Structure 1
């Protein structure tokens, strides 16, 4: 349980990090200043000890230019302004002091020979300081990561829990993984509770969907089965030619209704009992679709040509597709029915090309169809036949590919697996 919100924790973590680094840098600068002072005093005292009992005078005053050290006389004759000057080559520091009563300036000379560090020693000190600065920077970076990680730990914990949930196999147990009560009342807690409620709604929806599809599968198929049984009994009785045609129309309408119910139930199911890995032969399903919808060509004088292209496709047992056989049958039925319905009299033939992994259904179109359909090619067609969007969804769920191409002369549907 966290007492503060995520925003306050981040602000507090940043303040703590800055405060700690400021204190560390303050101690580092203070130590450097004290070290420099001690070093100057030690060097000066060591130089005095070396000249004992005659103590060297490092600091001297001069009233006249002529009394200055020879290396400074030429410079002093230029009457320099008041201030401090440094001469590296001579290792001298000079202070120009204004004299009273309009006299010439006086000079205070500080001989730093033996007190200041040599150039080589300065480089070593530079390396040491660089190392210290780098170490402090690394310390600050590590401290910042540690503090910020602790500040955003609830977010990382929630993200890890959400990542473990599989949206494709959502169950009631996945909701228990969130446990929003662990995240308090801050922003992360609000997000956790929202995700938990969303998962509960999705889980309830999936459960209702499973119950509906299970019930609908029985309730919708039962009357269809009863109707088909009654039609079989009627077909066995003595019927007039007119009555036989009516019964045949009812039988076809019932069959189409059954196919439609199976199609929508197949799309509505969240899972298909592991049938997505089923292997089945394509040719029998294509022949069945042609036979079931051949009545749509009555009176049109249109031929149906089946072309087995590849050498590997030489018998009815090939080609072999992998997926849900019922979904494949529904897709093929939609393509064949669309081709039969949209082919007008004398606009044949309808060709069905079957390769090892591809099925083409091609039909000719009339001028009226050309006016309704412009040339198009898309992976998700929706304009040519009501069932094509359903075919696209079935293909997506089974890992197949579907496309449609329509031009002025023909319409070609392509289904690959």
Structure 2
């Protein structure tokens, strides 16, 4: 458990930012060091080239000095010595012999004891005289007095650039991750129903925010539908239970009345059958069984759908008519079809004071038209609550459901259309 918390703490945005800046700093320092070392070596090499040219330029002076006063060696400058016999060369220079003729030979150029030798020959009084011009590579200064200053300035410049890079990286990371931090804080707020980010946020995070808002709205909608569904299921189960309980109590009041007893038993049986159908349908919905993938169909006729059961709640003056197309077969089981029609017709009856309610049933289309008040802001929610079970059943069995105004009768049209596979 402790390990999990430690890993979580290490992966928060602040620590990720520190690690990112640290890595950028290491990369910047390493890169700067490589560049600095490369340029330093290049400068040293160029300095050696200048020294070699400087050494070669004293060839003529050395020959003139010898012709004026022949000697084994002579200092032609404070830093350059000319030797006219290899036997008189210093021991450290002798160890590196032989030297290429008419070329400058570099020995240990990057070392403090490095030196250069230019070897050639010239004629003096008809004799060929060898000439060795020597110089220590570190005794001649070409601005070396400022070398420490150059190193210091280069180091400070490198550190300054690393600092600028670190600050820039931190600001860029903060700008990039601030919307994520903002969203994370909003997610911790359980009461928040909408997430927002600034306009300057990158498009991907805006898209993520839009999806979060969509999921939040979907969650709220699903929760509301589940509550409505639970309320409806409770009503559908409580009603037959109340009928059964009432009929049983009435039976006990008139035990000698045979006709009365038979009537109550019939009420109990009908209520039990209705409750059984309701339970089976609700369980089918809860299990999310997709009947749209099944090829089984059920024949439908007027005997299968008693119009009297659908119209018994209709107000006086409201006529309920059922029209079934010939050879109609549906992918709905009959109990499901009855419950769908019952809910739609009950909603139509609720908002129809006079006129008619017409039910059309065909193989791929079912409609219920009424002459009621139609849809409005006032009764839109009531329609939705009553028809929630219809929508759920249609989704399970592969049908679509739509409720809209009937422009011809000022009522509503509830349409069920079978979805094509």
Compute the TM-score of the two structures, normalised by the length of structure 1. 0.42
Which is higher, the Rg of structure 1 or of structure 2? 2
Report 1 or 2 for greater relative contact order, CA contacts < 8 Å, sequence distance ≥ 6: 1
